[in-house]
Copies of this chain bind each other. A is one copy, B any other.
């Protein structure tokens, strides 16, 4: 079988994701939230109120995807909109009291998983985050290079 999972950096990321998905989906089972939904709630909890465009930038998601999440959250009355004092054409999103209750129910389970995960790390958490950040920066640069190549070909 050789050394599966040692193929490349990106294969490592792929496998890591699969494992984290198993951990987090099991962790959140019964809380009514998926891991990707939890990320949206936690962003609003930690950094809200935010305009949808800032949410999209912070999560690395297209705006349309953020709006899909927000529509589902509004239907559950988990988010509300307020006027954006810095931009009259935009609005700010924040969690409602019901949204906070849903978030806190999920975050009790989530934090237990995070404690297990960080407790099991044999490398300092700051070092791991530094590496993830470097990879994320490189991905942004690579996206820029790809776009530039395409523009070159299209000229």
Q: Which A residues fall within an 8 A CB radius of B?
A: 1-2, 4-5, 7-20, 22-24, 26-27, 35-36, 39, 42-43, 46-47, 50, 54, 57-61, 113-114, 116-118, 120-123, 125, 127-143, 145-147
- Oligomer: number of copies: 2
- Does more than half of chain A's interface fall in helix, strand or loop, or is it mixed? helix
Q: Which of B23, B47, B136 is within 8 Å of A12, CB to CB?
A: B136
Top 5 A-B residue pairs of the complex, sorted by shortest distance between their CB atoms:
A4-B58, A18-B60, A131-B131, A120-B141, A116-B142
B117 touches A139 (CB 8 A): yes
Min C-beta distance of A53 to chain B, whole Å: 10
Please indicate the chain B residues that have their CB under 8 angstroms from the CB of A123 in the complex. 130-131, 134
Sample of 14 further A-B pairs with CB below 8 A, known A117-B142, A128-B131: A4-B47, A4-B59, A12-B133, A14-B36, A14-B59, A15-B59, A16-B135, A23-B142, A23-B143, A26-B147, A117-B135, A127-B131, A128-B134, A131-B131
